[in-house]
Amino acid sequence: MNNEETFSQFDIDIENIRITFILHGMDKNNVVNEISSFHKHSYFTLYVADGKQVFVQTHDKVYNLAPKDALILPPETEHRYAPENDAECFSVIFTFNKNQKEPNEDVYTPFSEFFKSLYCLQLKNQSELTSITQEIRRTFKEKNLAVLFRIKVCFSHLIFNLYDSLSFISNTHPVDKELSPETMIKYKNTNMRPFIIDAYMREHFRENITLEQMSQVMFLSTKQLGRIIKKTYGQTFYQRITNMRIEEAKQLLKNKNLTIEEIAYLVGYSTHTGFYKAFRQTTGKKPSEWRQPL
């Protein structure tokens, strides 16, 4: 190979599952663009063709990936890829395991049961999946503010978009068939999107985030995001952020070594007066009253 191979690993925790992505490619844009020898990975492998045809060969079949086609290979599948001329193909390998978090909903079990029974499968004309991989490459290149989190959000969208697509196929079609774009449109859903939103809010509720900022990293309009949050929690975006801050503050108030002003800062308030007001509106008590033993 003429170019030096590079690797980047990202761990993403969503509820009780940790998904590990290893992005690998033969150029600075993290795409494969040269013919490879037969090889295999101990993880799942995903290829997404971008621009021109790409051929991926296993020992018993050759997959012709047209632009925007995707191919998922289970672990230990020997294969090689052969891009057409200077064609580029996005490639990522991933695995998952159960983390130690107490989940609001079990994501690991259905995810694990599904992917562990997966066979080689080609998906036709995956415009949304292609857009996500292009955003990952663009984010790597531009290195804007919070680049690591932006990439993790992209990978979260990628894996659940793939999960929704493949789980539909396994439930309604033989695993060795290809699904047309028209059929794919009929099943598209966003059932996994609330998990991504919840993971974001849990990681960032202490920061000065806004609905507009969050909508940008979630690839949603503010109206769409607001509706999803309202449906999921029965609260607006700002009510949810406030409640998460106050719930953490209630736990911190058990620690007598922290002042109330320090707690206000730790949960995301720039002034203790804003914290006092939010705490009393939420709990009906002052922070000092909550701290007092019963």
Contact call for residues 177 and 125 (beta carbons, < 8 A): no
pLDDT tens for 206-249 read 988 899 988 877 777 899 889 989 988 899 999 999 999 999 99
Q: Over the range 45-72, which residues count as b (16 or more CB within 10 Å of their CB) and which as e?
A: bbbbbbbebbbbebeeeebebeebbbbb
Name the CATH superfamily for 190-294.
Homeodomain-like (1.10.10.60)
Whether 250 contacts 285, CB under 8 Å = no
pLDDT (0 to 100) of residue 235: 93
SS3 labels along 85-121: CCCEEEEEEEEEEECCCCCCCCCHHHHHHHHCCCCCE
**Does CATH place domain 6-189 in 2.60.120.10?**
yes
Output phi, psi for 267, to 5 deg. Answer: -95, 0
Percentage of the chain lying above the pLDDT 90 cut: 24
Q: Is the dihedral of CA 49, 55, 57, 62 positive or negative?
A: positive
* Domain range annotation of the chain: 6-189, 190-294
The per-type count for the chain, helices as H runs and strands as E runs, is: 11, 10
pLDDT value at residue 294: 46
- Give the residue among 137, 43, 41 at the shortest CA–CA distance from 89: 137
Phi, psi of 159 (to 5 degrees): -70, -35
pLDDT digits (tens, 9 = 90+) for 13-22: 988 999 999 8
Q: How far is CA 293 from CA 240, 259, 283, in A?
A: 27, 16, 16
Do the domains 6-189 and 190-294 sit in the same CATH topology, yes or no? no
At residue 177, what is the residue type? K
List residues bridging with 254 in a β-sheet.
Answer: none
| pLDDT recorded at residue 87 | 66
Phi, psi for 132 (deg, rounded to 5):
-65, -45
Contact 153/218 with Cβ under 8 angstroms? yes
CB 183 within 8 A of CB 168: no
Instruction: Compute the distance between CA of residue 125 and CA of residue 111 in angstroms, rounded to an integer.
Output: 24
pLDDT at residue 188, as a whole number: 41
pLDDT tens-digit map of 169-195:
555 433 334 444 444 443 344 455 776
pTM for this predicted structure: 0.58
Q: What is the pLDDT of residues 6-57, one digit of tens each?
A: 457 889 998 899 999 987 653 444 455 556 678 888 999 999 988 778 888 8
Query: Above 80 in pLDDT, residue 144?
Result: no
d(CA 55, CA 80): 8
pLDDT value, residue 32: 52
